[in-house]
Structures are given as C-alpha cells and as structure tokens.
Amino acid sequence: MSLSIGGRIDESLPVKAVRVAVLTISDTRDEESDTSGHLLAERVTAAGHELAGKAIVPDDVDAIRAQVLAWVSEGVEAVVTTGGTGITGRDVTPEALEPLFDKKIDGFSVVFHLVSYQSVGLSTLQSRATAGIIKGCFVFCLPGSNGAVRDGWDKVIAAQLDSRHKPCNMVELMPRLLER
C-alpha cells in the first residue's frame, strides 16, 4: 500500500514560527536518554519554529496535566508529547489530556495510524496517539519511540504547523480557535 500525504508547501511564502513545546512522558528516561524528545526538539527548530519549552515528566496524570496546562497558560501554541500512548498499565497520556480537550482532532489519530502502518505494520494498533485543542493550544500526543516521532512529526504534524502548507494548515486557524 502506497500512501501520499496530500498538499504542498508554497515556498514563495515566509514561514510563520509557531511556539512549540515538547514533553516527554516516561518513568525511565532522563535528559541524557531522552532520544525521542531530543529528536522532536531538533525537528521543531529545524522547521523554523520556536522551541518554547522542553520537559520530562513521569507517567502520571497529574504531572502530565500540570506541565501541559502551564505551557498553555504561558501562550504556547502547540505541545507535542512523546510517550505514554501505549496500552500498558502505566500508559496514561490519553487519560491525562483528552479530558482537557475543548475539541478533539479525531483525524489526527487516523492519519497517524495510516503513516505508522507503513513503518511498523499492525503494531500501530498498540498506539493510542491522539490530538486536541486546549484553550487555543494544539496538543499532539505521539508514542515514545523515535520511529513514531519521525512518522508523527515528519509525515503529519510538520505540514499542518507549516503556514505555507496548502490547501490549508492549522496555523491559519490559530487566531480563530477561541471564537465563540
């Protein structure tokens, strides 16, 4: 099965930098061993965005919520998490963040699994990757492997956080996220 990610980047337009924070959720990783967090941070800055924060918290609902809500209150425009989306007992990222979503971005999980299937086949079933909006901030929750980070950022999130992506992107929606 071949998968084409639709759309195009209009290189004639300037990149609008987005304030992005990276959160690693793990009971075992520290700053030195956090390869997926480092990978995400490198990709965020390489894409022309501002790395607004980077942190590691344990697989704990309260710790995850506290860090994400702190960044939201500081005006971070997007948070990308890595880790805690699996199906074991300690994996609690969706339980921590989905109740905080003002809106869930259902299509993110679908598209993530499509691209992930190309890399890991049916093992993608073990991920509960999710995304939503919390008080005007996009939140994308990826599995903790480097491969999942590459699939999620490179093939899904990067294009939607690129203001030059056509026919549309999430950046152009940011000013309207809090409309009522």
pLDDT digits (tens, 9 = 90+) for 147-177: 999 999 999 999 999 999 999 999 999 999 9
Residue 25 in any domain: the answer is: yes
**Which range marks the domain in which residue 26 is found?**
15-174
More reliable by pLDDT, 55 or 4 = 55
Backbone angles phi, psi at 156, to 5 degrees: -135, -65
pLDDT digit string, tens, across residues 85-116: 999 999 999 999 999 999 999 999 999 999 99
Q: What's the chain's average pLDDT?
A: 95
Domain membership of residue 116 (yes or no) is: yes
Q: What is the mean pLDDT of residues 16-33?
A: 95
CATH number of the domain at 139, please: 3.40.980.10
Residue 62: inside a domain, yes or no?
yes
Q: Domain tally for the chain? A: 1
Tokens of 161: 């956080």
Token pair in block for residue 21: 């924070």
Say whether 90 sits in a helix, a strand or coil.
coil
113 falls within a domain: yes
Residue 154 lies in a domain: yes
Could you tell me if residue 36 is inside a domain?
A: yes
Q: Alpha carbon 139 to chain centroid distance?
A: 6
